[in-house]
Structure 1
Amino acid sequence: MIAGDRFSGLREILSWIVDHDAVMVTVEYQLAPEFPDPYPVEDCYAGLLWTAEHAAELGIDADRLIIAGASAGGGLAAGTALLARDRGGPSLAGQVLIYPMLDDRDQTVSSLQMDGVGLWDRASNVMGWTALLGERRGTENVSIYAAPARATDLGGLPPAFIDCGSAEVFRDEDVDYAMGLWKAGGQAELHVWPGGFHGFDLLAPHSALAQAMVAARNAWVARVLGQ
């Protein structure tokens, strides 16, 4: 929510372009705290609308739009999918939520466990959510589009791929989100990688665990795109 640009984390997605003759559109969403909620998720939704409206000239099959994001971007992708559902926006074939940041309340077991441990711990998470939400963090005045874990109805959403590590703050909220999709009758493929820390696929790409993580993610995308 507070760092990065439209080029961050693209390495993990580049193979989709090559393998599936895909087109990638990245959004330079405005960052908190200078641009707090709802700026980031509304920027992402605007990017989705623009992509759908220009699909033909971009050579995109409008029936195979996938939204993807990692960490804060994963939370924004989930929030954008909720906005598309509730506003009657573009239809999505899938959502790839890579260790997504979904819950501002920080009350899960994994949030309590990962305190002072890892690259993005409980304190980092509180800082990130506070930058986005200010004094609203943890109160009832937070929308489901800012913190998708707050959604009580996950029906009508596109199939989801969700992955995370077992040793990261986001573990339990990501598992709960997958369970919410199943409860609503939706589709979700969930992977919790044993011993994985936040972003380990980017920081230790040579490891067997990271390679398995990326392979599972790529296989899901291949199935959704039908190739």
Structure 2
Amino acid sequence: MWSTRGEGEAAARRPRIDAELRAGLAVIGGVFPPTITPDLIGFMRQSYASPPIEDMLRGRAIDLAVHELPGHGGDTIEVSVLSPRHASGPRPGVVVAHSGGFMFGDRFSGLDLAIDWVDQLGLVLVTVEYRLAPEHPDPVPFEDCYAALEWTAARAESIGVRRDRLVVAGASAGAGIAAGLALAARDREGPGLAGQLLDYPMLDDRGLTESTRLFDGIGVWDRVSNETGWAALLGDRCGTDGVSAYAAPARATDLRGLPPAFLDVGTVEIFRDETVEYAGRLWSAGIDTELHVWPGGFHAFDIFAKHAALSRGMIATRKAWLERIVSD
């Protein structure tokens, strides 16, 4: 489905990885190899597993509650609700879909940055344990998350969430799911959304962009990894006309009526061009959209090297948008 050009030509067109970030790649490779093939899914489920949530919450005034609800097909899934302990009255809420290429990760993967939104901005997080491909292919992961979004809106009062200040968010594959949630909430006349926060989103199974073809064995999550993730989710439908825009939001033909959007991405990653194109289409549809393209950033550099200067800038910019979008 995807093709590559000569390695020398491709290398000449690749931006350089930021020097501070490049120093951390050697450490990252042992946990998250740049190229993920189907035989590595089991390894990734172990290496990318989140630390105990109790460790992530230690020293924070945050309450944690676990709830069960019907996911796709009525099967039980879990969500965790993280709330500011001393909040007075309902707070804005964020429904979070985790990263992991649809194949690995859990509802606490990469959540440490989002936890800052709870104790620093006073938001309520609802993070979803959606089921993973290939055992649970499309539409299971997406529909599990949509069920959690509807559950959050329906239970807003009891879990301390303002129904009029509800945001969907995610990173990588989770950002693709979040973009799909925004589309489905519009199409199904579902919960009203105040915003969609899409960090380096995984939006298109077709691999049409230049950046998709440009990075092999580079940084985190290369072309082959992307093929692996989409094939796990979609099987033989990958790249065909039989793929829903809720699974691959870049396929959506009409982006009108969506909530305000925030998108960010690095220049040294395969999702660069599809993120920029999606932002452009949102602007063309009249959607209030903020886009940041971080020079020298590889995929998910804010998660893997959060203390680097570029990462600190990304994290602060994202938080500022979120604070603004949920304010009265």
Tell me which residue corresponds to 1:79. 180
Cα deviation digits, residues 128-179 of structure 1 (max 9, x gap): 0000000111111111000000111111100000001000010111111101
Tell me which residue corresponds to 1:165. 266
Is 1:14 the equivalent of 2:137?
no
Residue identity in the other structure for 2:104: A
Cα deviation for residue 53 of structure 1 reads: 0.3
Tell me which residue corresponds to 2:139. 38
Quote the Cα distance in structure 2 between the aligned partners of 1:90 and 1:182: 22
Cα deviation digits, residues 62-101 of structure 1 (max 9, x gap): 1000110001000000011111010000000001001110
Quote the Cα distance in structure 2 between the aligned partners of 1:5 and 1:15: 18
Quote the Cα distance in structure 2 between the aligned partners of 1:21 and 1:220: 14
Q: How does 1:1-227 map to 2 (within 5 A)?
A: 1-226=102-327
Residue identity in the other structure for 1:66: V
Structure 2: give runs of 5+ residues left out of the alignment: 1-101
Residue identity in the other structure for 2:219: G
Structure 1: give runs of 5+ residues left out of the alignment: none
Residue identity in the other structure for 1:151: A
Give the aligned CA root-mean-square deviation in angstroms.
Answer: 0.8
Quote the Cα distance in structure 2 between the aligned partners of 1:104 and 1:168: 15
**Percent of pairs with identical residues:** 61
Cα deviation digits, residues 14-62 of structure 1 (max 9, x gap): 1211123211111100100000000011011000000000000111111
If the length of structure 1 is used for normalisation, what is the TM-score?
0.98
Quote the Cα distance in structure 2 between the aligned partners of 1:22 and 1:112: 38
Residue identity in the other structure for 1:31: L
Quote the Cα distance in structure 2 between the aligned partners of 1:12 and 1:92: 22
The structure that is helix-richer by fraction is 1
Quote the Cα distance in structure 1 between the aligned partners of 2:166 and 2:109: 20
Residue identity in the other structure for 2:281: G
How many pairs does the alignment contain? 227
The structure that is strand-richer by fraction is 2
Residue identity in the other structure for 1:157: L
- The answer on whether the counterparts of 1:74 and 1:96 sit within 8 Å (CA) in structure 2 is yes
Quote the Cα distance in structure 1 between the aligned partners of 2:199 and 2:167: 13
Tell me which residue corresponds to 2:4. none
Q: Which has the larger radius of gyration?
A: 2
Residue identity in the other structure for 1:204: A
Quote the Cα distance in structure 2 between the aligned partners of 1:44 and 1:156: 21
Cα deviation for residue 116 of structure 1 reads: 2.4
